[in-house]
Amino acid sequence: MNASLNSDQDMTMKIFTHHEFDHHEQVVFCHDQNTGLKAIIAIHNTHRGPALGGCRMYPYASDEEALNDVLRLSKGMTYKSAIANLPLGGGKSVIIGDPHRDKTPELMRAMGKAVDQLGGRYIVAEDSGTCVADMLLMGELTPHVSGIAEKCDAEGNCRSGDPSPMTARGTFVGIQAAVAHRLGKSNLDGIRVAIQGVGNVGHHLAKQLHDAGAELFVSDINRTAVEQMVSELGATAVANEEIYDLDVDVFAPCALGAIINDLTIPRLRASIVAGAANNQLAEKRHGVALAEKGILYAPDYVINAGGVIDVCYERNHLAQDHIIKQVDAIADTLHEIFNRAEAQHKPTFELADRIAEERFAS
């Protein structure tokens, strides 16, 4: 167990018995008194390569909540990179604080220093509550940062290092694969999709679904984001607590995790759960419950791997068209998982886990 800058001894003593601890290699507690930085970095597995994962900034209600999140998310990154066949391990970091109130350039630089002290075992990228500008500030203190390089295609169209468009693209092709498998439709024209969360990724996903002819229902704690989707795409606004109850074809979680649980599963009327949120299943048994209810589940770390594919290949300086090809291959991976799960009468998440674990085992 390592500590960077400062450590919380009471918290570290709880790591090995924590219910989300899964043989994590390293958990680092970071504190900088001058900037107010309070952060945790978790490295789950580095058998395939250095641990890459985003830095989330969120006003956690407690240190325990932040630890729970970073342990879950870092493990998910190991599975995500392995299932995408990337030369990366899994890691994640969280900063405890409100990104709208507590974020400062000095705090981001302090986080960059904390990342640098790990000597490249962990590579940081953006996540909820952080952005490309924050990564550039961290990059002043460490070279171990990704998601900052401008990317251009063969036609000269360029975008920033923000990986959210690729996360959305992978989720979009994943929804296409799920609709083809469960509903037998080769297109999304008229398909009803309920999107929970229209932040960066959900916004991009909604536009792609709209352009493909899908009918959209959207919810978000940010009413402005919802109103924008209504105005731009003709989406139907739905109250946050009502999104589970809609009679739709696809429920697309694109906000926080653990939203597939004992309370929500009985309410779901969708045939498919396929979205960009991490750790959608509150517990693995909820993946079994979805299968028993006849709902096709696209494992979250498979369908939302577009972002990590993007930042991985950015570090290898590969062309944009190659990155897009790799992201679009998410559909092929899902087709394989769906078909094998059906043939073996297994929940889809079990097949995905098995494939990933074979790839990152030591």
90 neighbors 78 (Cβ within 8 angstroms): yes
130 neighbors 199 (Cβ within 8 angstroms): no
Distance CA 164, CA 167 (A): 5
Closest CA to 192 of 174, 173, 218, 169: 218
Catalytic residue flag (residue 113): no
85 neighbors 65 (Cβ within 8 angstroms): no
170 neighbors 327 (Cβ within 8 angstroms): yes
Distance CA 8, CA 281 (A): 29
Q: Which residue has the tokens 């606004």?
A: 237
Decide: helix, strand or coil at residue 2: coil
Catalytic residue from among 38, 92, 103, 151: 92
| DSSP code of residue 189 | T
Q: For the chain, how far is it from start to end, CA to CA, in angstroms?
A: 20
Catalytic residues: 92
